[in-house]
Every structure is written in structure tokens, then in C-alpha cells.
Amino acid sequence: MSLTDTLTLDDASGDATEFVLISRDGSGTVRRNSASTNAEPWTLVVNHKQTGSGLDIVDRHLIQAARLVRDTQGKARTAIVNVTLAVPQHEDVTDGMIMDMFANITDLLTDGGFGDSGMTGTTNLTKVLRGES
């Protein structure tokens, strides 16, 4: 089952942002924010692939948000946020484990997750953006 063609996702403030399907191939999809322009696109990519062989196959899932902006001289600057899930195809690795690890990272970056008004906090993410660990 696929994600819907148009995804409505909250931004950091809790405001709805719409991403519309612009392409689909055998490995995934590309969606573009409906408010973005061709000159400054804001895209959401979801891709899947397998690596390894035999008993060492790993399912890899990439979710990428990329936003291009132009500086005052017109030079393109692209910011990218990636989430990669690398899941060995082994019965000892469960979906629940992956969901827990994702929840841990979400909790870290959002200081407790999301509420009706978006991210509950940005202190930790701000620290990461400053190079703190």
C-alpha cells in the first residue's frame, strides 16, 4: 500500500503544509510543497532499496526533505534533512524496535514530540544545529 498522492504534514509551528506527488518510480516518490515555486522548490522524497544478499539483506528507507532558497545574489542554497531507516531482514529485528528508535530520536530533537501547536520544544534541535552533542 502506498502513501496518498497528496500528504498534508505539520510544520514546526503545527501549521499544515501540503506536498503533492510529482513523480513515482520503482523505488519511490517525489512530492513538492504546493506553496513552493520552480525557482525555489521544497521537496519530500521517499525511496526504498535493499542492500546485501542471502541472510544479510537490509531494507533501506530514505525520507528526505530538501528546500532550495536563493541568496541575495541569486545563488542557490539547499538545506536537506534525511531520515534513513536501515532494517535487517531478520526475525530478531522487529517493526516495534524501529518505531522505538525513531521515537527516541523524535523525542530528542523535539524535546518531547509534537502537540497541537507543532514541536513541543526546539532546545535540543537548536543545540544540534550549533554543533553540540
* Per-residue model confidence as pLDDT tens digits over 15-41: 999 999 999 999 999 999 999 999 999
Q: How much of the chain exceeds pLDDT 70, in percent? A: 99
At 105, which helix (H) or strand (E)? helix 95-110
| pLDDT value of residue 114 | 81
How does residue 133 score in pLDDT terms, banded at 50, 70 and 90?
A: very high
What does pLDDT average to over the chain?
94
Q: Does domain 1-89 have CATH number 2.40.160.220?
A: yes
**How far apart are alpha carbons 120 and 79 in whole angstroms?**
23
Residues of CATH 2.40.160.220 domain(s) within the chain?
1-89
pLDDT one-digit tens code per residue, 59-89: 999 999 999 999 999 999 999 999 999 999 9
pLDDT one-digit tens code per residue, 36-61: 999 999 999 999 999 999 999 999 99
Beta strands in the chain (DSSP E): 6-10, 16-25, 28-33, 42-51, 58-70, 76-88, 114-115, 118-119
How does residue 1 score in pLDDT terms, banded at 50, 70 and 90?
A: low
| pLDDT value of residue 125 | 93
Q: Tell me the three-class secondary structure of 21-43, residue by residue.
A: EEEEECCEEEEEECCCCCCCCEE
Give the pairing type, strands 114-115 and 118-119. Answer: antiparallel
As given in the structure block, the three cell numbers for residue 33 are: 510543497
